[in-house]
Amino acid sequence: MNNLGKNIAIWLVIGLVLMTVFNQFSRKQEASGQVAYSQFMADVEADRIASAEIEGNPIRGQIIKGKRNDGTAFSTLAPFDFRMVDTLIKHNVKFAAKAEEEPSFLMNLFINWFPMLLLIGVWVFFMRQMQGGGKGGAFSFGKSKARLLDEATNVITFADVAGCDEAKADVSEIVDYLRDPSKYQSLGGRMPRGILLVGPPGTGKTLLAKAIAGEAKVPFFSISGSDFVEMFVGVGAARVRDMFENAKKNAPCIIFIDEIDAVGRQRGAGMGGGNDEREQTLNQMLVEMDGFEGNSGIMVIAATNRPDVLDPALLRPGRFDRQVMVSLPDIRGREQILGVHMRKVPISNDVDAQVIARGTPGFSGADLANLVNEAVLFAARRVKRLVDMDDFESAKDKIMMGAERRTMVMSEEEKQNTAYHESGHAVVAKLLPKSDPVHKVTIIPRGRALGVTMQLPEADRYAYDRGYLMDRIAILFGGRIAEELFMNQMTTGASNDFERATSLARDMVTRYGMTDALGPMVYGENEGEVFLGRSVTTHKNMSEATMQQVDAEIRRIIDEQYGLARRLLEDNRDKVEAMTAALLEWETIDAEQIEDIMQGRTPKPPKALPVKPNSPNGDRPSGEAPATPVITTPATES
């Protein structure tokens, strides 16, 4: 509305200026058609004037308009001449006098003062723009960019937040304090100065902060950490001051700073000097949160997924009194989040949110929202009125594995090698006791992978024992060993398997203390980042002999698990052959078919067997492929 008013005012000024120019132009045109007064009097005396009309005041001048005997019109400006009337009567000229209309006082005032008022108004307008009265003014850099959400505009409550019950419980008493502070103040308590929401991306930290403001029904100032810093020195600190001044006027209120690590990193970090713009902004924020002046009624809520890089002075009690962990949701939390997002979607009766939640371990709230949206897109693409379970399965496969590469051409030999590779992973995974159940195996290329072996955990895992990690290493080697045993060749498709297996073995030796030879001790070098306030130099804390022993332990673990996987595949050749044949025929097999193969039974055909096109270019129909953890065969790895 402000921009609209400014535009209307500017166009009105332009219109008035154009009208003034046109009036002046028309007056000049009119003046160019006049005759001299002397010529007029000569024509009267020569009896060439038929009629005349006199307008105006004799003292200030009169305008005479009339016609000659030949019918032509004329006009002239007459000075004060008391003989003109007698002359007109003497020569029989018909004339009439028209009284001059006196302009009103307001009209005179407007005519005389309008140009001056216009110039003053234009000058004031541009001065306000330069001083920050308008958006983006030359002096408006120090103004806070925080957006205010009041009770009417913020309609988000705790009912819109799911999957983080512990975090909601931690902040619920903050809401109670904002609603009724006297209950706590009577006992000598004070409101926490700040709450730091910590958690992985997409877990709902920003949504939880909005819900706190919505439940407490207080003003909510929202700003990002990157909005404080500009190209000019001192702008960040000025914006912090302005933000807290605005918050004091609306207290009690909440200030929410998203991604606070943009300005809250440790001071003195990096190779440059310590007096940079970001540190000035941080210093001002420290003073405003807990300095000489009190900020009663203002609560600062910040969110970050990098609490390890924040300055210690920012994290002390009195500034951020609480750190609330907003972690990835468990299976029950994922089911609740799916319920929130499914309320806005027409869902079929066969959709089971609990099954979807079990098949999406490690998904955040944002991932689950994207899953529901992708399922809706699949249903719309298939011209359905309701979103069913098949759409959710397709959406889950696309998110976890990538889109199917339908046009990718593979030779029969490469396709057979991929089938043996994935069968090797699956058979080893089914035979080892501590591995996750195999959910699906496919040789349809997805994303960067030529094939996928999908393992689905029965429950969310928060810690991994030594046996589980050893089995994971053996499963990773199953693909290469199957290529050697059944195809008598080695391909580059196992390179990512080797990287992951070596990384797991190295972590078991150097970080987890899972070897008897080296014991429970961390072996490694200083890997601190200099730009996170860590040491510039790296320090080796291992001798050459210890490094050789670490390498020997890593080699021992890899060789043991490689040999274990090889023995399992050699003893179960028939199962690998049967699984490979099923993959070559159907391209995707599920857990039920895999179990039939491992029990020596003939696998049942898929419920909806895809019809393979008989095209010579090797195009294949779409198949299924699910969740995590996954073992893939990269398309191009060396």
Is 465 labelled a binding residue?
A: no
Residue 98: beta bridge partners?
A: 55
* Residues annotated catalytic, as ranges: 422
Distinct helix (H) and strand (E) counts, the chain: 20, 14
The residue type found at 5 is G
SS (H, E, C) 310-336: ECHHHHCCCCCCEEEECCCCCHHHHHH
Element containing residue 380 per DSSP (H, E): helix 365-381
pLDDT value of position 590: 79
Helical H segments across 155-218, by residue range:
165-179, 182-185, 205-216
DSSP state of 92: T
Count of CB atoms situated within 10 Å of the CB of 75: 17
What CATH topology corresponds to 412-634?
Answer: Methane Monooxygenase Hydroxylase; Chain G, domain 1 (1.20.58)
Chain position carrying tokens 């003034």: 20
The residue type found at 279 is E
Is 421 labelled a binding residue?
A: yes
pLDDT, tens only, 586-628: 888 878 888 888 888 887 777 654 444 333 333 333 333 333 3
Q: Cis peptide before 629, with omega less than 30 degrees from 0?
A: yes
Is 206 labelled a binding residue?
A: yes
Q: Which is it for strands 438-442 and 220-224: parallel, antiparallel or unpaired?
A: unpaired
Alpha carbon of 213 to those of 86, 160, 536, 603: distances in Å? 91, 13, 42, 56
Burial class of 245 by CB neighbour count within 10 A (0 to 12, 13 to 18, 19+): exposed
Smallest CA-to-CA distance from 583 within 420, 407, 425, 404 is with: 420
pLDDT value of position 130: 58
pLDDT value of position 274: 46
Is 145 labelled a binding residue?
A: no
pLDDT value of position 208: 85
Is 204 labelled a binding residue?
A: yes
Q: Are the folds of 331-401 and 412-634 the same?
A: no
Is 497 labelled a binding residue?
A: yes
Helical H segments across 54-191, by residue range:
84-90, 105-130, 165-179, 182-185
- For the domain covering 147-325, report its CATH number: 3.40.50.300
The string of DSSP codes covering 469-514 is HHHHHHHHHHHHHHIIIIIS---GGGHHHHHHHHHHHHHHHHTS--
**Rounded to an integer, what distance in angstroms lies between the CA atom of residue 471 and that of residue 508?**
13
pLDDT value of position 3: 60
pLDDT value of position 234: 64
pLDDT value of position 398: 81
CB neighbour list of residue 186: distance below 8 Å, 6 or more residues apart: none
Helical H segments across 572-600, by residue range:
573-586, 591-598
pLDDT value of position 629: 47
Q: Cis peptide before 252, with omega less than 30 degrees from 0?
A: yes
pLDDT value of position 165: 79
How many whole angstroms from its chain centre is CA 489? 47
Is 268 labelled a binding residue?
A: no
Count of CB atoms situated within 10 Å of the CB of 274: 9
Which of the four CATH numbers 1.20.1250.20, 3.40.30.10, 1.10.8.60, 3.30.499.10 does domain 331-401 have? 1.10.8.60
CB neighbour list of residue 112: distance below 8 Å, 6 or more residues apart: none
Q: What stretches in the chain show pLDDT beneath 70?
A: 1-7, 9, 11, 15, 17-33, 57-61, 99-105, 109-111, 128-154, 227, 229-234, 269-276, 291-296, 404-409, 447, 525-540, 607-638
Q: What is the dihedral of CA 498, 500, 503, 504, to 10 degrees?
A: -110
Domain ranges of the chain: 147-325, 331-401, 412-634
pLDDT, tens only, 357-399: 888 888 888 889 899 999 999 899 888 888 888 888 888 878 8
**Rounded to an integer, what distance in angstroms lies between the CA atom of residue 619 and that of residue 615?**
7
Is 425 labelled a binding residue?
A: yes
Query: Cβ(64)–Cβ(53) under 8 Å?
Result: yes
Helical H segments across 218-359, by residue range:
235-249, 277-289, 312-315, 331-342, 353-358
pLDDT value of position 119: 75
